[in-house]
Amino acid sequence: MKQRKPVRVCTFFLLSFLVLFALSLMGGCFFKGKEGPPPSLVRLKPDKYPRFTDDLFYDGIDQAIFQSLSYYNKMPLSKTYDFAGDSYDVGHLIRSLEFFLSYVESEPSEEDLNEFIRNKFAVYRSTGKDQTNEVLYTGYYEPSLRGSLEKTEIYRYPVYTHPKDLVAINLRLFSSEEAFRRTIIGRYTSENTVVPYYERSQIGNGDILKDQADILAYVDDKIDLFFLEIQGSGIIYLENGGFIRVHYHTKNGHPYRSIGSYLIRTGKVLKEEMSMQKIREYLTLHPDEVKGILNYNPSYVFFRPEEGGPYGCYGVEVTPERTIATDKRMFPACAISFINTEKPLINGDGEIVEWMPFGRFVLNQDTGGAIKGPGRADLFKGNGRYAEVSAGHMQHTGSLYFLVMNKDKEPENGALVQ
- pLDDT computed for residue 35 by the predictor: 62
* Contact predicate 336/68, CB 8 Å: yes
* 292 and 195 in a common domain: yes
Within a 13 Å sphere around the CA of 92, how many CA atoms are in the beta-carbon half? 18
pLDDT band at 308 (very low <50, low <70, confident <90, very high): confident
pLDDT band at 11 (very low <50, low <70, confident <90, very high): very low
CATH number at residue 234: 2.40.240.50
- pLDDT computed for residue 58 by the predictor: 96
2 within a domain of the structure (yes/no): no
Strand-pair partners of 346:
352
CATH number at residue 68: 2.40.40.10
* 272 and 126 in a common domain: no
Q: Which residues of 286-320 are buried (b: 16+ CB within 10 A; e: fewer)?
A: eeeeeeebbbebbbbbbbeebeebbbbbbebbbbb
Closest CA to 216 of 148, 166, 155: 148
- pLDDT computed for residue 52 by the predictor: 98
* Contact predicate 134/222, CB 8 Å: no
- pLDDT computed for residue 8 by the predictor: 42
Strand 336-346 to 395-405 pairing: antiparallel
* 249 and 335 in a common domain: no
* Contact predicate 403/121, CB 8 Å: yes
- CA atoms of 375 and 340, how far apart (whole Å): 13
pLDDT band at 303 (very low <50, low <70, confident <90, very high): very high
Mean per-residue pLDDT, 1-13: 43
Q: Report percent pLDDT > 70 for the chain.
A: 87
Question: Which of 275, 306, 337 finishes a domain?
Answer: 306
- pLDDT computed for residue 414 by the predictor: 44
Question: Which residue would you say has higher pLDDT here, 230 or 172?
Answer: 230
User: Looking only at Cα atoms, what is the longest distance across the chain?
Assistant: 68
> What pLDDT, in 10s, does the model give residues 12-38?
444 444 444 444 444 444 344 456 678
Mean per-residue pLDDT, 180-196: 86
Report the domain count for the chain.
2
> What pLDDT, in 10s, does the model give residues 266-278?
999 999 999 999 9
Question: Which of 306, 328, 343 finishes a domain?
Answer: 306
* 300 and 185 in a common domain: yes
Q: Helix or strand or coil: residue 24?
A: helix
Range of the domain at 255: 143-306
User: Hey, what's the torsion of the CAs at 227, 228, 230, 232, to 10 degrees?
Assistant: 170
- CA atoms of 325 and 370, how far apart (whole Å): 10
> What pLDDT, in 10s, does the model give residues 59-81?
999 999 999 999 999 999 999 99
- CA atoms of 228 and 221, how far apart (whole Å): 11
Question: Which of 306, 337, 355 finishes a domain?
Answer: 306
